């Protein structure tokens, strides 16, 4: 596969990627930090370390505007100076994103720019709405889901607003580690689709 556009997302078993009331000052929502305990092993030689190193080897990042703002715009550098393409509905006049970030308002253009910027490396995706937009447009190739054995009960769900579209996924990798199962899915596309 050419450089895949790949969602990286920690998620509870009930589909939450953040706890309730996620906002500035409480970016992960109430109890949402639980979804990121696996990062304690990011420097290990185990599966979580492998997945973390793979994420940081991506050549570009597509982020949703909300995620970008909650992350304090990553001060313009998510990792290693890779381009950050922020998919947004509108750009306010005079709002210039910092560092390596730029705003893009068209999903097709965003995917194209990200692939070009990444060269032969994968493109990382952050944000539920952005992942859904890319998926609906046929640009999301893979999903790396860090499945956490917890039910948050409420919060921001990854696929709440996907619509009625039926989408098949192929499990291409499963890595088990302490307190997480890393699942990589490839979006199944029939012949001739995007």
Q: Encode pLDDT of 115-137 as tens digits.
A: 999 999 999 999 999 999 999 99
CA distance 8 to 132: 13
Instruction: Tell me if residue 38 falls in helix, strand or coil.
Output: helix
Report pTM.
Answer: 0.93
The model's confidence at residue 190, banded by pLDDT at 50, 70 and 90, is low
pLDDT per residue as tens digits for the range 23-41 = 999 999 999 999 999 999 9
How does 123-162 read in b/e, with b if 16+ C-beta sit within 10 Å?
bbbbbbbbbbbbbeeebbbbbbbbbbebebeebbbbeeee
Q: In 43-179, where do the E strands start and end?
A: 60-64, 84-87, 101-104, 123-126, 142-148, 156-157, 169-177
Whether the per-residue pLDDT at 193 is higher than 60: the answer is no
């Amino acid at each position: 596969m050419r450089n895949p556009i790949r969602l990286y997302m920690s998620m509870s078993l009930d589909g939450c990627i953040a706890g309730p009331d996620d906002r500035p000052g409480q970016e992960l929502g109430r109890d949402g930090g639980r979804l990121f305990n696996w990062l304690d092993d990011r420097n290990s030689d185990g599966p979580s370390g492998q997945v973390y190193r793979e994420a940081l080897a991506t050549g570009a990042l597509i982020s949703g505007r909300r995620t970008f703002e909650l992350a304090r715009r990553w001060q313009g550098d998510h990792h290693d100076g890779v381009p950050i393409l922020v998919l947004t509905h509108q750009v306010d006049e005079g709002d210039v994103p910092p560092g390596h970030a730029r705003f893009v308002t068209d999903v097709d253009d965003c995917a194209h720019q990200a692939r070009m910027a990444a060269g032969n490396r994968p493109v990382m995706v952050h944000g539920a709405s952005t992942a859904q937009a890319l998926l609906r447009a046929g640009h999301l190739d893979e999903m790396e889901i860090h499945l956490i054995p917890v039910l948050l009960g409420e919060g921001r769900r990854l696929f709440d607003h996907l619509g009625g579209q039926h989408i098949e996924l192929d499990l291409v990798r499963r890595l088990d580690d302490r307190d997480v199962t890393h699942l990589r899915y490839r979006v199944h596309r029939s012949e001739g689709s995007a």
